Chain A
Amino acid sequence: MKVAVIGVGITKFGKLENKTSRELFAEAVEYAIKDADISPKEVESVYVGNFTADLFEHQGHIGPLMADYAGLKGLPATRFESACASGAAALRHGILSILSGLYDIVLVGGVEKMTDLPTSEVTDALSIAADNLFEASIGATFPGEYAMIAKAHMDAYGTTREQLASVAVKNHHNGFLNPKAHFQKEIDLDKALNAPMIAWPLGLYDCSPISDGAAALILAREDIARKYTDTPVYIIASAQASDTVSLFERESLTSLKAAKIAARKAYEMAGVTAKQINLAEVHDCFTIAEIIATEDLGFFKPGEGGPAVEQGLTQIDGDIAINPSGGLKAKGHPVGCTGVAQAVEVSIQLRGEAGKRQVSGAEIGLTHNIGGSGATAIIHIFRR
């Protein structure tokens, strides 16, 4: 790979009542351009990750809209949609555009404005990432799809609700250390276990919140990166795979095959093994999803992800730091932004600039962004 991250920007995540998606996007881009210390004139193309401003804000055609409000009018600007993996899809295409030789410097952003709608309408909007004819039509929700995965994982491996709750407790602790996180409060196991049910066996604290937010990255050709920064972060792998959109037609209900395929390709491309990864920002849209991610990525064997989080192996100072940012669970999950936000966190960590949540000595980091209940999986690996 011949691409480097030379600038990052991220807004505060949360319920940001007075901000529209275009304002959030522009804010993240401003941070990233300042961070890269470049002129906006040096940016050659714009890639926007967004799931469904169409339903959340009744706004389509957001590629040029975001570019315009970010002061980048005139550039090629396209929106990428792959459900909750839209952010990583935009990042991957930004990378590909540099690898093609067409551009030297591009901007990748992700944005979602979700909190204008009541919860029932957000639930409806998110359910379009599932199979509308055979899943959403019978009343399955997104939490419901992951709840069925959780139930299958519990049956297969004895995974417990306490282990799921341990993911929430850990990620709330990490979010508490992240000033940009949606939630900056710690919770305990009792609170997580006694929360109202959303889709049994998943309760409120097993679910990521409905968040607004934006993030941006400036990517540059590897050989010019050091002209702009002393701390470039190199992207050493980008891999993507797909599976059925419907959960019921998958080979396995306890693992995401697309994630396993993308992980294998990413490790091959980067020339590293799972053991060499110091930290990973994984797609914990639900607590069970983090446990399965740590298994699919090869950090733990199938069935051992639950005990691992319960034993603290995935804390910031554990064997492998999982979601030091607080993850989707506590940092927040503005869906189309998430893949870009994950890359921002890994970049900050590899530069050694993560403050209280810094993973000490981090050299290699990974992002794992999932669309739907596993139909899209996109994995990137970064090295400082």
Chain B
Amino acid sequence: MEADDFSIKRFLKYISEGKLKGLKCAGCGNIIAPPRLKCSVCGSSEFKWVDLSGKAHLLTYTIIHVPPKRFTGETPYVVGIVQLEEGPRLEARITGFDVNQHVQILKTGMDLIFEPSPAGILSFKPLI
């Protein structure tokens, strides 16, 4: 049953379907993403899937010029660490702007929004 499947694979499948979801702990309400077997705050393992707002802010980023083999041809692209409004941090592509202008456009702490990507790669774009 999908509703009882609190797995990492389910989390990644949601992303590939264009949905950003997290686990809400039934014990303390903590939001967990990516999934863990137990809540890091209260230790409960009772969860439900909830839609996340998709709002986040940028903690740090890099421009990849030399990619792993499977991403050859996509450079330069931006990878960043984002903090979701609900608390969890994730690593994601930062998209939707001219990479050559990153110094002018990307600012640490700036607001981002989840952007479903055709390739199913977790992505956020700047809210400008």
Residues of A within 8 A of B (CB): 119-121, 123-124, 127, 133-141, 143-144, 147-149, 151-152, 155, 196-202, 246-249, 253
Contact = CB atoms under 8 A, between A and B. Distances in A.
Given A120-B72, A151-B60, A253-B59, A137 B121 contact: yes
B64 A120 contact: no
Nearest to A140: B79
Given A138-B79, A151-B61, A151-B62, 7 more contacts: A119-B66, A123-B67, A138-B93, A143-B62, A197-B76, A198-B65, A247-B91
A133 B34 CA distance: 10
B81 A247 contact: yes
Interface of B: 8, 12, 34, 59-72, 74, 76-77, 79-81, 89-93, 102, 108, 121-122
A343 B78 CA distance: 37
Nearest to A207: B66
Given A144-B79, A248-B91, A199 B65 contact: yes
A133 B91 CA distance: 10
Residue among A124, A196, A248 facing the most chain B CB atoms (10 A cut-off): A248
Contact of B89 (A121, A143, A249): A249
Given A140-B91, A155-B108, A196 B79 contact: no
A323 B102 CA distance: 34
3 closest A-B pairs by beta carbon, nearest first, are A147-B62, A200-B63, A152-B60
Contacts of A152: 59-60, 108
Nearest to A200: B63
Contacts of B91: 134-135, 138, 140, 246-248
Contacts of A202: 62
B79 A139 contact: yes
Nearest to A147: B62
B63 A138 contact: no
A253 B60 contact: yes
B8 A139 contact: no
Contact of A199 (B64, B71, B74): B64
A152 B81 CA distance: 10
Contacts of B79: 138-140, 144, 148
